[in-house]
A and B are shown apart, each in its own frame.
Chain A
Amino acid sequence: MVSVEDYVARTEGTCGQEKDVIVTFKYDKKGDAIARIMKKAKLEKSIANIIFELTFEGFSFRLYPSGKAIFRSLRDKQELDRILAGLLL
């Protein structure tokens, strides 16, 4: 059975007042992960085709074609896991 771990290489809290979480997708799965996310989330804005500002279930986040995403204002890891599961599975 496919799981979030099949797509996600690592998640890391950023340093700074913003308290963002950066999710890096596995190199060989990043294309699939980006395609799934773009299909399920709503594209709000694209900056120079590098930064895709998306929303999903009321959460806004940014996705990068290099296979990384920044999630903001998350309560905890469980919330991130739930959103990632919704986006990827």
Chain B
Amino acid sequence: MFNPEEIRKDFAILKRKINGHPLIYFDNAATSQKPKQVIEAIKNYYEYSNANVHRAVHTLSQEASELYENAHEEVAKFINAQGMEEIVFVRGTTEAINLVTYAWGLPNLGKNEEVLVTLMEHHSNIVPWENLSKIKGFKVKYAPVNNDGTLDYEAFEKAITDKTKLVCFSHVSNVTGVVNDVKRIVKVAHDHGALTLIDGAQSVPHLSVDVKDLDMDFLAFSGHKMLAPTGIGVLYGKQQILERMGPFHGGGEMIREVKFDLATKRCSVIWTGLPWKFEAGTPNVSGGIGLMEAIKYLKKIGMKNVEKHEKNLTNYALKHMQRLRNIEVYGPHDATNKCGIIPFGIEGLSSHDIALTLDAYGIMIRSGYHCAQPLHELLKLKSSARASFYIYNTRQEIDRFIEVLKETE
């Protein structure tokens, strides 16, 4: 039985008061809070199992290596990947996308070729492609978005041509919460011989994501938005694609052999296998362990329950927000095809005014562009206020949120 009140007991931070009011945390699309189980797992690792992973024969290193590898396995099972060979640990979604940009894009993209992204993307799925296109000369094409923030599928599909080598898009928009039809887009991309890179930063924490069922080639997501610590994220890639790719970073951990040739006075390098080829240097072991624990926590609740709870909260909030005469909700007005993210504005107030007003009552929301300036410009918004929900949020918190919003009427 899903009970947010029970869940809340695991989050000490939710007992805090901010500006004299009980904390209401509605900035989950930026980062989630961490349950005590995740914090304990990290603490235990540092207190009892801390060592550098791989290559050492001593007991502690073996323990740490096992924990770190188990974390990869746990992630693989969570998204239904084939195994840990397909799971690369990175710092977060941004690094995962940059890994694909440089390790796959640099050798595979050139003049007269195209990368297709949507106009609803987070800057992290735009900037790396624009940067690389300046070096390699390929074209970055932008698929349009409708006035309500949903994807224009017909235009998107028409924009995919035989020149398209990669299609990059968010599973869930970080501004509107709109859920994109991954299966539909992936099929059209594959029909044209293009690969797909899906930004799962706002979907993996909130929905059941099955990489095999959705046939994704790459999936990027962050741990910190799904109860894990900051500094750990995941790039999923199909094994045959990752095997063909060279590494992103060079250094220790990712090589099998570095041999100095006396004749040429050069070193020859042989990379190690997956996923370690992409994890140069000492990895974020504690982050990986924290992510494993976070996934165990979410699995215990059940992702279908997470999704249902957030949909209920979103519908409830949307219903009450739309009754306020000075509030404009941007994007879709019902939660049918949407995650727990609600962008909105208040007449006469900037998004930052709204955020500071709510902050005075202990309610944390985000304001600004949310790293998605093109989408804001397209929707003709100077910026937006954004409330976003997670497993520990309640209807009572939304009631309080509405009560405070009413004061601005």
Contacts and interface: CB of A to CB of B under 8 A. Distances in A.
Interface of A: 14-18, 20, 22, 47-48, 50-51, 62, 64-66, 68, 70
A1 to B, nearest CB: 31
Interface stretch (B220-228, B304-312, B335-343, B346-354): B346-354
Given A16-B350, A16-B351, A50 B407 contact: yes
Contact of B356 (A15, A16, A64): A64
Contacts of B367: 14, 16
Given A16-B351, A17-B383, A18-B383, A48 B407 contact: yes
28 contacts: A14-B367, A14-B368, A15-B368, A15-B369, A16-B350, A16-B369, A16-B383, A17-B376, A18-B350, A18-B351, A18-B382, A20-B350, A20-B352, A47-B357, A47-B408, A48-B408, A50-B407, A51-B357, A62-B356, A64-B356, A64-B357, A64-B359, A64-B360, A65-B360, A66-B360, A68-B359, A70-B352, A70-B356
Contacts, number: 62
B19 interface: yes
A50 B404 CA distance: 10
A50 B357 contact: yes
A16 B366 CA distance: 12
Interface of B: 19, 349-353, 356-357, 359-361, 367-371, 376, 382-383, 407-408
A18 B383 CA distance: 8
Contacts of B368: 14-16
A7 B89 CA distance: 42
B360 A62 contact: no
Q: Interface majority SS on A: helix, strand, loop or mixed?
A: loop
Contacts of B353: 51, 62, 70
Given A15-B370, A62-B356, A66-B359, 11 more contacts: A15-B369, A16-B351, A16-B367, A16-B383, A48-B407, A50-B360, A50-B361, A51-B357, A64-B356, A65-B360, A68-B356
B189 to A, nearest CB: 31
A64 B354 CA distance: 11
Closest 8 CB pairs of A and B: A16-B383, A15-B368, A17-B382, A48-B407, A66-B360, A16-B368, A66-B19, A64-B356
A15 B373 CA distance: 9
A76 B287 CA distance: 40
Q: Interface majority SS on B: helix, strand, loop or mixed?
A: mixed
Nearest to B354: A51
Nearest to B359: A66
A16 B361 CA distance: 23
B402 to A, nearest CB: 14
A54 to B, nearest CB: 13
Contacts of A14: 352, 367-368, 383
A20 B368 CA distance: 10
A77 to B, nearest CB: 18
Contacts of A68: 356, 359
Nearest to B362: A66
Nearest to A49: B407
Contacts of B407: 48, 50
A18 B360 CA distance: 21
Interface centre among A16, A48, A50, A68 (most CB of B within 10 A): A16
B356 A22 contact: yes
Contacts of A66: 19, 356, 359-360
A18 to B, nearest CB: 5
Contacts of A17: 369, 376, 382-383
Contacts of B376: 16-17
A14 B350 CA distance: 11
Given A47-B408, A66-B19, A18 B356 contact: no
A66 B360 CA distance: 5
Contacts of B361: 50
A22 B408 contact: no
Contacts of A47: 349, 357, 408
A69 B371 CA distance: 23
A62 to B, nearest CB: 6
Contacts of A16: 350-352, 367-369, 376, 382-383
A51 to B, nearest CB: 6
B403 to A, nearest CB: 11
Contacts of B356: 22, 51, 62, 64, 66, 68, 70
